[in-house]
Every structure is written in C-alpha cells, then in structure tokens.
Structure 1
C-alpha cells in the first residue's frame, strides 16, 4: 500500500516539472504542505479540464455508497489489477488524476519495532502518482468526495518494504494518464506498462518519528541508516 507521502513544493513547481502550464488552482487555505502527509488529509492533485491543467486539493480517502452502508473504513489506494472492474469504471473514465509527490514512506520489521524507509527518485525529482477521484469537474467537494492512489505489486529488485507500491509515472506518461481522449482500457494498459521500475528509486532508512502524525519537518528526510539503490528487476 501507499500510506504516507511527501508534498512539499508549490503546485506551480510540480506543474513545471510536468512541463505543462498550470491554468487554474483550486486549493483551500486549510491545505498544508507536508513532509509526512497521512491519509484523510487534503492533497494536491492535477487533472485536465478542457485540455487545461488544473490543481485541486482533495481528501486522500474514498468511501463508496455501498461501503458506507456496510460501515467499512474508507479506502486510500486502488489496486491496478482491479481498475477494469465495474467498481472503478466511472472513475477510470472521468476521474483520472495525478498526485505529485516528492517521495513516500514504507515500513519493515515486526509490529512494535517497525523501521520506516523513505523512497524517492534517485535524482530527487518529483514523482507523479496515478490516482482516481469521484470528484467532478464542477461539483463542490463534500463528505463523499475523495481520491485513491493507484498501487501495483512490488517489482523484483526492490527493497522488500511492502508487497505493493504506488504507480509512479514520468511527466509525459502522467499527462497521457490525464488525457480523457484515451479510453479507460488504454489508461490501464499505460500504467501497467509504463510504471517506473525499481531502478528509478532509492530507499533510505529514516527516523521512526515518521510513524507519528504530529512529526512533520525536513529532518524526517534525513537518512539514519543504510541507503539502497534500486536495481533493474530480473526474473528469478
């Protein structure tokens, strides 16, 4: 899964990294940048509206009507291998968005003594996570509005931090994911084939303070132990 991300740049800087002009920003004052962004907080997303790049801040969680009726907890991730099912079809057609980020965290070790790892691009450039939302282009945000970050199974060659990882794309592929002229089937094929591989990333052991929501500062990004560079996945 993807349970904590880093968003510390302005929307304009993320848009510049995507090599696309940001035409509109719809971000409330209560949005906060974060070195330790947790689910249920407002997160910056990009979408294309009439061919123009728009930045919004949406809650990182989603609870469908049937899940609410069953008293289930909100979801924060969407499995890539489930995207073509009816459950996601509407969002795949009309709700593809991108979450720009500076990295994410995962944990290893037994419960009670878990070691957090910071995962970033080797060149420290922003990442662009494929994501979905039920938020329409011109509909007010309410309690049912939210976003899901798409995850896939971890590839061989990665540090064994979790069995799933967020689907990160290049800037060019992120723009294609947003393009509604591509069918939802084509979009699924894109992220299945174009998700950045382990060779793109590095893993750094960081402070266990990451585990506390109240901790949020640049010191969380400082390595406290080993740093591992991802390698090209190979068949075993």
Structure 2
C-alpha cells in the first residue's frame, strides 16, 4: 500500500515533465515531505480536454456507500474494473506527482519507515482514481485514491504492495480521455515502472507522525560517517 508520500515541489515543476504549454492551476496546497491521508494534495487530471491541477482530498468513499464501506486511500489494480471502481476508471483517471513515497517494515511499535524514489531522482507519477464532483456529506465523496499493485523483485523486502508509477509520457496517456477504461487498465499493467527503476533507504521514525514535515525527513539514516 501507500500511506504517505513525499510531494515537496510545486505543481508547475511537476507539470513541466509532461511538456505541456500550460495547465489550469487551482492548487493552494503547500509542498510537503510528508503527505498523509485526509489532507488535500495537488492532483493532475484532464478537464474539458485540457490539463488541470486541483487540490483533492486523499481518501475516497462513494456517496451511496457511506454506511457500508470505509474510506479508501488505495485501490488495487486487480480490482479496477469492478462495480465500485469501474466508473472512476472511465471518468476519474488522475495522476499524483511526487518525489517518492514511504513504506514501513518491522513489528508494530517498532516500525521502520523507508523512502522509495527513482534512482535518477526524477519525479514519480502515481496513478490515481478521483471524483472531482462536489460532496454532500463527507469530503471523501470527492476525493482520490492511489492505485497499487503487487511489489516485484527486491521491493517486496520493503512492502508487498507499491503504487503504480508511470513515466511522464505514459502518465499523460493515462489521462487521455480518448482511451477506454480497458486500454487504461492495460497501460497501468504493462507500463508500470519496475523495481529496477527505484532505490530506497531508511529514514527517521519522525515520518510516522502525520504533522511532522521538513527536508530532514527524507535523509537516509544508519549511513556510516565518512572518516
């Protein structure tokens, strides 16, 4: 799963990777090294055929499911075509840009956070599903979830799930309203970046606290000091 991510740059610099001339920026969220569920984060999507960036609540629950289901922060790639997620796969495809994400290992009470990022330190583009309409009862009615898949290779040593990350060109295709839901799902399955694109290191347990922030949170720990 993905329960925190590092989104420490401004939306305009993330958008630059797409090569778009412009986008509608309606975001006021500040960059953060420790984005947590239940907060509003910049999300890239297409509106009326044009790219846009809006602040959206991290968490989703369909309005009709309020009394039946919990608020989700992730959606499994294997279940995107079911009745719950299928509509959003058609009309609510989105991308959450970031610099990396966090996972935890170890026993409860001794959980060790890890920062996972691209080896080349380029931004990551995590696939998401979102509902951009207004909410009536709960913010999660118009929120987003990150799409996750089984971890592969060495990354399973950190966690058995990972967010689905594409490069900028494929992420732009994911957002294209002219591709079908079936094509979008196939893109997510076939073009997701594998473990060889990433590296990870241990970071301070301070990340465990949702209100903590700062560049020090992403620095590696347990690294031997130079002589």
TM-score, length basis structure 1 = 0.89
| Equivalent residue number for residue 116 of structure 1 | 113
Unaligned residue ranges in structure 1 (runs of 5+): 227-236
Match of 1:204 among 198, 201, 205: 201
Match of 1:40 among 25, 38, 42: 38
Q: How many residues align?
A: 222
| Equivalent residue number for residue 96 of structure 2 | 99
2:49–2:177 Cα contact (<8 Å) kept: no
| Equivalent residue number for residue 166 of structure 1 | 163
| Alignment partners' CA distance in 2, 1:24 and 1:51 | 11
- The range that moved more, 194-203 or 46-55, is 46-55
| Equivalent residue number for residue 19 of structure 2 | 19
Q: How does 1:132-171 map to 2 (within 5 A)?
A: 132-136=129-133, 143=139, 144-171=141-168
| Alignment partners' CA distance in 2, 1:95 and 1:123 | 30
Q: How does 1:60-99 map to 2 (within 5 A)?
A: 60-70=58-68, 72-99=69-96
| Equivalent residue number for residue 213 of structure 1 | 210
From the superposition, tell whether residues 209 and 135 of structure 1 become closer, same or farther in structure 2 (CA, over 3 Å). same
TM-score, length basis structure 2 = 0.93
- Please give the per-residue CA displacement for 1:31-52, whole angstroms capped at 9, x wherever unaligned: 2321011001111111112332
| Alignment partners' CA distance in 1, 2:43 and 2:182 | 22
1:119–1:203 Cα contact (<8 Å) kept: yes
Aligned-pair CA distance for 1:67: 3.3
| Alignment partners' CA distance in 1, 2:10 and 2:135 | 23
| Equivalent residue number for residue 51 of structure 2 | 53
Runs of 4 or more above 3 Å deviation? 139-142
Report the aligned-residue RMSD.
Answer: 1.7
Unaligned residue ranges in structure 2 (runs of 5+): none
- Please give the per-residue CA displacement for 1:67-106, whole angstroms capped at 9, x wherever unaligned: 3112x43100010000011211110111000000110000
Aligned-pair CA distance for 1:107: 0.5
